[in-house]
Amino acid sequence: MSKQSEQPSVVSRQPSLRVEENRARVDGDELAVEAPCEIRLGGRSYVLLMATPADLRHLALGFCLTEGLVASTREVLDISLGGDELPGVGPVYWADVSLPPELARRARARRAAPAATSCGLCGLESFRDLGGGIVPVRSALTVELENIQKLFKAMEEGQGIYRRTGAAHAVALGNAQGELLHLAEDVGRHNAMDKVLGMAMSEGRDLSECVCAVSGRISLEMALKAARAGLPMVSSVSAATSLGRKICEQSGVTLLGFVRQGRATIYCHPQRVLNQGEPLPGL
């Protein structure tokens, strides 16, 4: 496929029919662009993601980390980007990751078929593998609840694609003071998580000192990505699932849900969350 030099569009304006107060009018709506984005290893297809076609280098880097293909950026030799136009589909994109031969061989051996989404379960041969191979997160991080809420406010203010379309998830990384460090948006929660982790990895960020804020629920696959990356705290405006909580509990990740102004639900490892300088009681 030929390389594309232009920056991909992340929003597309399309005609629509708007009905309000029993009156119909022709209008135009901005839609979040969803496109096939293939991650390749050494020129060979590894996984096909449906994603927002921006920050694809970071997406590939974060994907390699959260799927357990690499442990650090030092193990990624190169990432090349490209794309093409397919009849009936439109623009398609790829990110080709170059790994050392042994890591590439292990990755291909783990995977028998492409997946439809970057879900955190890629490469697993059996349900018995769920949660396996995760090193428990060790971090002395403590964060005031109001600073976690401050990070969510910064994330909300930075969600440009969501404001225009209402159809994009966001993941943000912040520090203990609630300051925004990295922000990524994508039509898929999993892709947004991989992108923001790829941004942090590219800058050599110590993830054990970061707070993660997520716009969607914390399910098994999102918890696995957080744990594999070594994030000590992941929080959401929404809920956690039972398996999401279990993975966080077992891997030492502090998990918060329903983060709103002045309140939050803490599912496990509350020792990292402070309320007006005071530690919270244990569960």
SS3 7: coil
Q: What pLDDT shows up at residue 61?
A: 98
SS3 171: strand
Q: If you search the block for the tokens 């292990």, which residue do you land on?
A: 106
Q: pLDDT tens digits for 106-159?
A: 998 877 444 444 455 554 443 445 555 688 999 999 999 999 999 999 999 999
How many Cβ atoms from other residues are within 10 Å of residue 3's Cβ? Answer: 10
Distance of CA 117 to the CA centre of its chain: 12
Give the separation between CA 122 and CA 266, rounded to whole angstroms. 28
| Contact assessment for residue 40 and residue 95, using Cβ atoms and an 8 Å cutoff | yes
Q: List beta partners, residue 205.
A: none
Q: What pLDDT shows up at residue 1?
A: 37
CA atoms within 13 A on the CB side of 68: 23
pTM of the model: 0.90
Burial of 98 (0-12, 13-18, 19+ CB in 10 A): middle
Residue 89 DSSP class: T
Q: pLDDT tens digits for 61-111?
A: 999 999 999 999 999 999 999 999 988 889 999 999 999 999 999 998 877
Q: Which residues are catalytic?
A: 119
Q: Tokens representing 29? A: 């709506």
Considering only residues 22 and 164, tell me which one the structure prediction assigns the higher pLDDT.
164
Q: What DSSP string runs through 75-86?
A: G--EEEEEEEEE
| Contact assessment for residue 79 and residue 98, using Cβ atoms and an 8 Å cutoff | yes
Query: What rounded mean pLDDT belongs to the chain?
Result: 90
Q: What pLDDT shows up at residue 131?
A: 54
Give percent of the chain above pLDDT 90: 80
Give the separation between CA 253 and CA 244, rounded to whole angstroms. 10
